[in-house]
Amino acid sequence: MTQLTVLPHSYLTLNYRLTLPNGDDYINTFVDRPATILMGSGQFAPCFEKVLLGLGLGEKKSALLSPEESFGERKEDLVQWVSLKALKEGRADDVEFNPGDVIEFNAPGGAQYAGVLQSIDDEGAWFDFNHPLAGRPITFEAEIVAIL
């Protein structure tokens, strides 16, 4: 019987954890329920898929990923001002916005993107469109539960 290993297009179930430099978990499926992904489909970041390749059923692996290897460096030009009119466009009249909220926007062509609200006043708001983990080294830990 051949040993199953994770390949570039494997369909698999895994537990994984992303840990910040201070030791806090950003995501931890070990305490909840495992994730099921199709490798190479865009469901999982390529930096994480690279760590999983070649792992066998039940195997665990941990890797420290630099910002360059994972979500990139923070870019100050991705902190942008959005007018209150643009912010409220297509939303309910009574919607409330608070610093720390993750707000989704529609881009031309139907794509969506999100930013974290930094501050807001009567004219508009500052948003950070960087990935929340940009500029931070992270530890990725995974355990293969099933290879389907």
* Residues 50-74 pLDDT 10s: 999 999 999 999 999 999 999 999 9
End-to-end CA distance of the chain: 15
Residue 20: per-residue pLDDT = 93
Q: Round to whole Å and give the CA distance between 112 and 74.
A: 20
Q: Round to whole Å and give the CA distance between 88 and 10.
A: 42
Residue 1: per-residue pLDDT = 45
The domain limits of the chain are: 11-72+135-147, 76-128
Q: Is the pTM of this model over 0.75?
A: yes
pLDDT above 70 for 9: yes
142 vs 105 pLDDT, higher one: 142
CATH code that applies to domain 76-128: 2.40.10.330
Residue 2: per-residue pLDDT = 53
Over residues 85-106, mean pLDDT: 90
| Local confidence band at 89 (pLDDT 50, 70, 90 cut-offs) | confident
User: Which amino acid, residue 18?
Assistant: L
Average pLDDT value for the chain: 92
Residue 111: per-residue pLDDT = 79
CA-wise closest residue to 70 among 137, 14, 141: 137
pLDDT above 50 for 5: yes
Pick the CATH number of 11-72+135-147 from 2.60.34.10, 3.10.50.40, 3.20.20.10, 3.30.420.40: 3.10.50.40
User: Which amino acid, residue 59?
Assistant: E
Q: Round to whole Å and give the CA distance between 81 and 99.
A: 13
Residue 79: per-residue pLDDT = 96
